[in-house]
Amino acid sequence: MTIQHVHARRIWDSRGRPTVEVEVVNQDGTSGIGIAPAGASRGTREAVELRDGGTRLGGLDVQQALRGIEREIAPQLLGRAAADQAGIDALLLALDGTPHKARLGGNATIATSLAVLHAAAAQARQPLWQYLAQGRPVRLPLPQVQIFGGGAHAGRRVDVQDFMVIATGATSFGEAMEMTAEVYRAAGELMAQRGSLAGVADEGGWWPSFSRNEEALDALVAAIEKAGYTPGTDVAIALDIAASEFGSGRRYRLALENQDLDSNALCERLVRWVERYPIVSIEDPLAEDDEPGLVALTRAVGDRVQVVGDDYLVTSADRVRRAAGLGACNCVLIKPNQAGTVTETLAALQAARERGYATIVSARSGETEDVAIVHLATGWNAGQLKVGSFARSERMAKWNEGIRIESRAGAPAGFWGRQSLAGSPGGA
């Protein structure tokens, strides 16, 4: 059974920007749709997002990417089996011919690759998570959910990009969602009481109106308590510092506090936060070019806290192996569009697993109604899932899909819970 049609079209993401959708139709009439998400705080080594440039639509249109799919990719896919993911992804790589998919665009390749994957699952008459699990037992992932959104997602109102919670006391995905909902609501009420409720940031977290980064941490602890939970036991804190956004050359500028810090000083600041607050996970604590800083922080707190590489590791198996050799980070953020194909994404996840690193499958700040990553996180048994906040339908569609997977007959029996966290007691 082989691929009969490939359609590429422009759709719109959660920021109202153009993005690439690909539909792959098999001979038997089954089909699959893949959509490219888009980041705002990107690592420099990510697969390149091909945008048209110029003035129309802010230069963000994707007509070139669509043309590449129609003229170069589609003719090569016709007659091939959708089940041959590795073969098709290798073909995409070869067709592009550049190290970072700059010619055809990582947005074109990931949308195509995901569409092929969905089409293969549809042909096998299985939900995607089940198709990926191939009969192996899997568990629902532990969610990381944003409560305050900052950095590049909130006009740089605070320096830290994501203030998140992890329901470490939850025993099911559904329960984690309910606990998160309570904390999200409590945080909104707290902001309203302080007269600082100002809508939401790009991923649905409350817009941060704080005068220091620590104030956001204090507010988060207060929200967890207000919701009736014990911070650190029931609900813990996860941060995405996204330090590449405010630092390079081992120098950092905390705009909110009007401070310039070198790598050591930022490291010390983060260690202090880890000591003072119930933090269990900290992503991109230092900039992607500050490898010594990442090694130093991992050495300092990696036995207690999950240290996650996003911009630094860019979902690359080679980068993960390099980091493992140095002792930088103990967890890998897995974003399919950073890699550009499903096969390379899986290779990064497997490299992480081989080195004993934990994994978090993650959405981007520019998303759509697409719920594929929930299936990837479950079917690949990644352990953790990060899709943004607890508001806005491009986020809620994904959380709700997790609930559906958990509740359907024939669903995975278990839930990862806190043991999926690297560095935590009883963790990975």
Tell me the CA distances in angstroms from 298 to 294, 366, 421, 424, one per residue in order: 6, 29, 14, 13
Per-position x/- string for 30-69, each x denoting binding to ligand PGA as judged by CB under 6 A, each - no binding: ---------xxxx---------------------------
Instruction: Name, in order, each residue with C-beta under 8 angstroms of 354's C-beta and a sequence gap of 6 or more.
Output: none
Respond yes or no: is residue 335 known to be catalytic.
yes
The dihedral built from the CA positions of residue 120, 124, 125 and 127, taken in this order, carries a sign that is negative
Dihedral (C-alpha) 289, 291, 293, 295: value to the nearest 10 degrees? Answer: 160
In the list 85, 306, 362, 424, the residue contacting ligand PGA (rule: CB under 6 A) is: 362
**In 381-422, beta strands by DSSP E:** 383-389, 414-415
In the list 47, 88, 223, 242, the residue contacting ligand PGA (rule: CB under 6 A) is: 242
Stretch that binds ligand PGA, among 260-268, 346-354, 361-369, 401-409 (CB under 6 A): 361-369
Stretch that binds ligand PGA, among 93-101, 258-266, 295-303, 360-368 (CB under 6 A): 360-368
Q: How far apart are CA 17 and CA 38, in angstroms?
A: 9
Q: How far apart are CA 129 and CA 392, in angstroms?
A: 24
Stretch that binds ligand PGA, among 107-115, 177-185, 214-222, 359-367 (CB under 6 A): 359-367
Count Cα atoms within 13 angstroms, Cβ side, for 175: 12
Per rule CB under 5 A, is residue 310 in the interface with Zn ion?
yes
In the list 49, 203, 240, 401, the residue contacting Zn ion (rule: CB under 5 A) is: 240
Q: How far apart are CA 383 and CA 381, in angstroms?
A: 6
Q: How far apart are CA 304 and CA 357, in angstroms?
A: 14
Report what 42 binds from ligand PGA, Zn ion, none; CB cut-off 5-8 Å by kind: ligand PGA
Respond yes or no: is residue 203 known to be catalytic.
yes
Residue tagged 């569009």 (tokens) = 337
Per rule CB under 5 A, is residue 290 in the interface with Zn ion?
no
Per rule CB under 6 A, is residue 310 in the interface with ligand PGA?
yes
In the list 168, 244, 345, 365, the residue contacting ligand PGA (rule: CB under 6 A) is: 365
Q: Check 49, 182, 203, 406 and give the catalytic one.
A: 203
Per rule CB under 6 A, is residue 364 in the interface with ligand PGA?
yes
Q: Check 101, 335, 386, 398 and give the catalytic one.
A: 335
Catalytic residues: 203, 335
Site of interaction with ligand PGA (CB under 6 A): 39-42, 161, 240, 242, 310, 362, 364-365
